[in-house]
Amino acid sequence: MIKGDYFSVKFENDKLIFLDQTKLPLVEEYVETDDYNRIAEAIERLEVRGAPLIGICAAYALALAVKGADKESRDLFEIAYKRVAGTRPTAVNLFWAIDEMKKTFEENVTSENIYAILLSHAKDIHKKDEEYCRKMGQNGLSIFKGKSNVLTHCNTGRLATGGDGTAFSVIKTAFKNDLINHVYADETRPLLQGLRLTAFELDKSGIPFSLQTDSSAAELMKQGKVDLVITGADRIALNGDSANKIGTYMLAIIANYHNIPFYVVAPSTTIAQNTPTGKEIEIEYRDKNEVLFINQDQITNQNYNAFTPAFDVTPSHLISGIITEEGVFTFPYNFLFAGRKD
């Protein structure tokens, strides 16, 4: 892999440009569009994914929905809002971002410059997430006691956010401060975000790493090769229960058994104000063909049934700390998050 720069999304010449993550790491292909529906499809197809990045793309989609509109902007916006809101149910950043955009729209609906106003707000959301990523990386340095081996799950870097990432920002910042010896990246079945995307980002960043099957994590820990587990989150309940890519809960249990610290990294926008505990988190279920196929290659009988949750929920008592742009918080999380206002 050639080391070098890349980006997940950027906005230029009234178009959203995004990296098609379904083709990584073998093909680096960017898509340009000014069609909100195409952006919604990209979110559904996982061409763009990761809770913060989904929110950013959704914000740009709603701005583009009213580009060139006049008196019909309200209808266009409402149609686009419903379309984008229906793409993925679990990631709270999506709903936070589109509600932010809706509030801005309602406050300025009579303006002749409604597109420019919405676009400016979308860019602010993007810029804010970039700054949050930087702060999470810095805040995460405090969890390291020395040069460490880290295990991570799914993908949490620039491909999932507007900046350097959530958990990946902590890893990257720690590496720059000589606190990372090696990173173990779970393949993350069924869509292999670790094998394809985290490996791509680790390689681009020059960080030493190994890939392993998800089922190898317990053996790694048993052999004493893991000092810390660091993951992201797609939704955090007010009591600290955290939803993340399927397989995260299993990692937390294994880490707890081996007395290995388990940390979650996410921006404060991932804390769901309307979700008291993990029991209220809606879990997205994906098409069974994502298990039965790898890309277009069928690997088992298509008539077989499959259990296909995209996420699971890790109980807060298994989480050593939750790292946000505001700091590192520890159990019991309800005293920290209850009643907060974003």
* Cβ-contact 310, 298 below 8 angstroms: no
Q: What is the DSSP letter of 3?
A: -
CA distance 153 to 133: 18
Partners of 180 in the β-ladder: 148
Which of 123-136 are b and which e, b meaning 16 or more Cβ less than 10 Å from the residue's Cβ?
A: eebbebbbebbebb
Concatenating the DSSP letter of every residue in 15-35 gives EEEEE-GGGTTT---EEEE--
Half-sphere exposure of 59 (CA within 13 A, CB side): 33
| Cβ-contact 148, 115 below 8 angstroms | no
Active site residues: 234
Return the H-helix or E-strand segment holding 147.
Answer: none
Tokens standing for 313? 């929920």
> Tokens 């900046």 appear where?
163
SS3 call for 113: coil
How many whole angstroms separate alpha carbon 164 and alpha carbon 172? 8
Determine the Cα–Cα distance for residues 185 and 193; give it in Å rounded to an integer.
10
How far is it, in rounded angstroms, from Cα 338 to Cα 276? 8
DSSP string, 48-94: S-SHHHHHHHHHHHHHHHTTT-STTHHHHHHHHHHHHHTS-SS-HHH
